[in-house]
Structure 1
Amino acid sequence: MTLSLDYAALSDVGRVRRNNEDSAYAGPHLLLLADGMGGAAAGEVASAAAVQVIRRLDKPGISGADMMEALAGAVHRANERLSELVEEDPEREGMGSTVTALLFDGQQLGLAHLGDSRAYRMRDGHLEQLSHDHTFVQSLVDEGRISKEEAFTHPHRNLILRVLDGRPDSDPDLEMLDVQAGDRLLLCSDGLPDYVSDQVIATSMSDGTPDSVVVDLITHALEANSNDNVTCIVADVVETAPASGDQPQLVGAAAELAQGGTGRTEPTIPVGVHGDGEGGGSGHFDPEELRYAPRPPKRFLWLRRLAALVVVLGLIVGGGWFAYSWTQNQYYVGTNGDYVAIFKGVDEQIPGLNLSNIYEMQTLQVDKLPTYSREQVEGTIQADNLSGARTIVTELQRTADACAAKKTTPRPTTTPKPSTPPASGKPVSTPAKPPTSTATVAPSSPASTPSGTSPDDCDGVR
């Protein structure tokens, strides 16, 4: 069995505010409400833009699991639209909008919700809230810190935590809901439930047509001295042809902007004109000022972003220059071809950037060093400074000189004196004389024998 919606929508600016920041849309397949916020940042622009984007879902053919995907995609597209509007006019920075939408396929409902506008369902005389408020006081209720009754009169009940605001983390709650003939649905902005109790709302919802109910609900809000815009959509789930027909209804800021004939989402009231009169006079307090973690409009947003980019680039360039300058004050000993050399910089490879160069070539050949010293030089020896690098070269030169001296110095030898036999044939005792060395041994000195060098240290010298 395919069901239909018999709907009515109505919006009132209220008795205090000068402009209507609520927008609503009701059609055969979609019920949608958006409550804009941002004060001088033009909340009416935000709500109207959200409705204009999401209302495109009001068409047949979207059903089942596709409803969730369609709702999420539409909300994200609306969020991108708000981001574009802020980019076009930085004065709108800080504006946002709630979104509460019911997508209907004739058999079930798909709910998308973000903010503190509400969705209700009246079934068999029982009123049930379908949406969950994204507000500060609701978080207190969820944590058990205050009761629902206390939340109704809490001084910060207007402070909202999540909205559609053009930022990337604006994800809605999504839920599939069952529906049956006889159900009555209500979507409303916070101007109603913040001033009218659920009991009064339930009483109004229990009788009358959708047209009479929306009038009754808004009347209750105005009589309760609601100082906010009040918008309601009431829809009956019916088996017969709906009395409202299939013509969509657009109310609130979205309707006012559409009647302007510009085809663009621009405010009909200049930004800032309503800033000093929204509260009904300079002596009145407007709770809308506390909506969504109040953030004043940011002027010259493009200039601030450019300045931030310049600062970031300056830090990157400055840091890079500092790092490069540091490398150019470092020294190490290495090889250049067959010779030892002192290098300035660091022995690191960065594509397109040379971090070291030869500072002093030495006459010391690498192959004149013993194996251990040669491997050290080929792997580079880091120095604390230029003086340290030169000291390292001096020590290497001493090691090479010591090995060269050891290699060219012959071993000492002795020549025995021939014995002459005695004439008498008797042995004659001849005192032994110390052998005479024919080798000349080079005197040892610190310059020719560096500390730590032993004969075994010179292996591998060529």
Structure 2
Amino acid sequence: MSDQPPEAALPRLRLDYGAVSDVGRVRRDNQDSGYAGPWLLAVCDGVGGAARGDIASATAITQLRRLDEPPGSDSAEELLGRVAGAIHRAHDRLVELVDEDPALSGTSTTATVLAFDGTRLGIGHVGDSRAYLYRDGAIRQLTVDHTFVQTLIDEGRITEEEARVHPHRNLIMRAIDAVSDSEPDLFVLDIGPGDRLLVCSDGACGVLTDGRMADILSSGSPEYAAVELVRASLEAGSSDNVTCVVADVLAADDAAPVAEALVVGAAAERRLQRGRTGGLFRGHRSGDTGELDPVPADLPEGAPYDAIDSDPEAVRYAPRPPRRYAWAKRLFAAAVAVGIAWVGLAALWSWSQHQYYVGEQDGAVVIFRGVNASVGGFDLSEPYQTTDVELDRLSDFDAGKVRDGIDATDLADAQKAVQRLASNQQPATTATDG
């Protein structure tokens, strides 16, 4: 049985929204993407530096915007199922893009999604973009960051204020990528007229306090609030892209026109480029999100991230191994190859020590242990037993066979071959005085 009451009993609501995305004062490319529509609010913050986080965020928004459609009679579970499905489709699409272009390997994106059904929100969240509710003069953070510093906060090791300046504050533990299909946080929020919603990238919430955001959200239209939040973030020193989506919850009004959906940031740029170039991503420079300082080759052990004086986007997503560990992978691969070769050589040497043949050394017939061959001037056999059979007392035929080497199946077989040669050797000549 559905947990949703009959449609006539539902308080019908609508959203009035605004969205702004700014590349910021440091970066050359905007890797944020935002969307605001009658039934959907979403922000995605691309991660990946040279791996093109802008593609990841734009791809995710393209999949998520399918949620912007009039609601049916979904239950809360069905609403969250649609949100989760859209996030998983974004992952699947990134997998396809990386398969088509391996240079995109390592790209990923956050996603904070608010799907509206006319009376409540189905919220899905991965990463460190955030959703806030401003109600009755107070602001409340709705989502929990999937970051390293958040784990420290949860454990009581640092405070919220300390997290803002922590050297690992940019390190994300969960994101939408082409490797693992991350499970999003999912929950339902009941809303009512007078509520104001904010979805933003960490370029805003990473520098603005809750009090400052609440002050901006307390007045003006959604568009005005979004613009002011971006402006305040840049003035506060944000070095990242900044994206803010603000929406007011209003009572439904059949006479009110349905506002046009807004697409901002990298997703909007991708749409413009498609019309100009004939390809979704063709013609866009593939540089990093900002100028990177040189990364030292000899980093101290135990200092994986704060020892790097570079753009934090280069090491933002934890499951993507930092480049400086590539030498360790190559060293490990080389060690494995050497180990396999050593095991093979050891097995070959052990086998050779059970092989025997009959040959000649210093004019005598000798039983050799090993293989009758040499590699690089190194003999693969050694004398095992010297006999009293002399080569000069053998027939030319037998002597030739000994010089070439007489193969034996084992030591006993080699000893039998020597016995046959001994029985065939000519009697020794004795010198006499004339």
TM-score scaled by length of structure 1? 0.62
Deviations 1:364-413 (A, max 9, x none): xxxxxxxxxxxxxxxxxxxxx999xxxxxxxxxxxxxxxxxxxxxxxxxx
Task: List aligned pairs for 1:52-451, cutoff 5 A.
Answer: 52-62=62-72, 64-241=76-253, 245-261=258-274, 262=278, 264-265=280-281, 268-272=284-288, 276=292, 285-293=310-318, 295=320
1:44 and 2:26 matched: no
CA shift at 1:286, angstroms? 2.3
How large is the RMSD of aligned CA atoms in angstroms? 3.6
Larger CA Rg, structure 1 vs 2 = 1
Query: Residue 285 of structure 2: SS of its match in structure 1?
Result: coil
Percent identical residues: 51
SS at match of 1:236: strand
Q: Secondary structure at the match of 1:218?
A: helix
Q: Give distance in 2, aligned partners of 1:153 and 1:274.
A: 20
Task: Report if the CA contact (8 A) 2:30-2:289 is conserved.
Answer: no
Matched-pair contact (CA < 8 Å) for 2:31–2:289: no
The answer on whether the counterparts of 1:40 and 1:274 sit within 8 Å (CA) in structure 2 is no
Distance across 1 between alignment mates of 2:234 and 2:109: 22
Residues 44, 267 of structure 1: 8 Å contact kept = no
SS at match of 2:145: coil
Counterpart contact for 2:27–2:240, Cα < 8 Å: yes
| Superposed displacement of residue 57, structure 1 | 1.0
Cα deviation for residue 247 of structure 1 reads: 1.2
State the shift of 1:174 in Å: 0.6
Letter in 2 for 1:252: G
Whether the aligned pair in 2 keeps the contact of 1:123 and 1:183 (CA below 8 Å) is yes
Distance 1:136 1:296 in 2: 15
| Distance change >3 Å, CA 179–CA 46, structure 1 → 2 | same
| 1:287 shift after superposition | 2.5
Give the conservation status (yes or no) of the 8 Å contact 1:9–1:233: yes
Separation of aligned partners in 2, 1:147 and 1:277 = 30
**What amino acid is aligned across from residue 314 of structure 2 in structure 1?**
E
Matched residue type, 1:50 = A
Query: Per the alignment, do residues 42 and 297 of structure 1 end up closer, same or farther by CA in structure 2, a change over 3 Å counting?
Result: farther
Structure 1 counterpart of 2:182, which letter? Answer: S
Residues 7 and 234 in structure 1, CA contact (< 8 A), matched pair in contact too: yes
- 1:267 positional shift: 7.0
- Secondary structure (helix, strand or coil) at the match of 1:25 reads strand
SS in 2 for 1:156: coil
Structure 2 CA distance for partners of 1:285 and 1:225, relative to 1, 3 Å = farther
Deviation at 1:61, TM superposition (A): 2.9
- Per the alignment, in what secondary structure is the counterpart of residue 76 of structure 1? helix
Asked if residue 27 in structure 1 is aligned to residue 74 in structure 2, the reply is no
Distance in 2, matches of 1:174 and 1:109, equals: 10
CA contact (8 A) 1:115 1:162 kept: yes
- SS of 1:247's partner is coil
Q: Work out whether residues 23 and 252 of structure 1, in 8 Å CA contact, stay in contact via their aligned partners in 2.
A: yes
Q: Distance in 1 between matches of 2:216 and 2:205?
A: 13
Shift of 1:290: 3.0
How far apart are the structure 2 equivalents of 1:161 and 1:48? 21
Give the structure-2-normalised TM-score: 0.66
Moved over 6 A (4+): none
Single out whichever of 85-94 and 37-46 deviates more from structure 2. Answer: 85-94
Report SS of the residue matched to 2:205: coil
- Would the alpha carbon gap of residues 44 and 180 (structure 1) be closer, same or farther in structure 2, given more than 3 Å must change? same
Are the structure 2 counterparts of residues 270 and 105 from structure 1 closer, same or farther at C-alpha, using a change threshold of 3 Å?
same
Structure 1 pair 272/56, CA: closer, same or farther in 2 (3 Å)? same
Give yes or no for contact 1:257–1:267 (8 Å, CA) kept in 2.
no
Tell me the distance in 2 between the aligned counterparts of 1:275 and 1:295: 20
How many residues are paired up?
A: 320
- Deviation of 1:293 after TM superposition, in Å, equals 2.4
CA distance in 2 between partners of 1:244 and 1:23 (Å): 25
Task: Note the alpha carbon deviations across 1:286-318, whole angstroms, 9 max, x for none.
Answer: 2222311284799xxxxx9xxx9xxx9xx99xx
Amino acid at match of 1:145: R
In the alignment, the residues of structure 1 paired with residue 24 and residue 76 of structure 2 have an alpha-carbon distance, to the nearest angstrom, of 38
In structure 2, C-alpha distance between the alignment counterparts of 1:226 and 1:143, rounded to whole Å: 27
| SS of corresponding position for 1:260 | helix
The correspondence for 1:13, drawn from 19, 23, 28, is: 23
TM-superposed deviation, 1:271: 3.9
Q: Structure 2: which 5+ runs fail to align?
A: 1-10, 295-308, 324-328, 351-408, 412-434
Does the Cα contact within 8 Å between 1:17 and 1:277 map onto a contact in 2? no
Residues 1:247 and 1:181: Cα distance change in structure 2 (over 3 Å): same
> What is the CA–CA distance in structure 1 between the aligned matches of 2:12 and 2:252, rounded to whole Å?
9
2:431 aligns with: none
3-state DSSP class of the match of 1:83?
helix
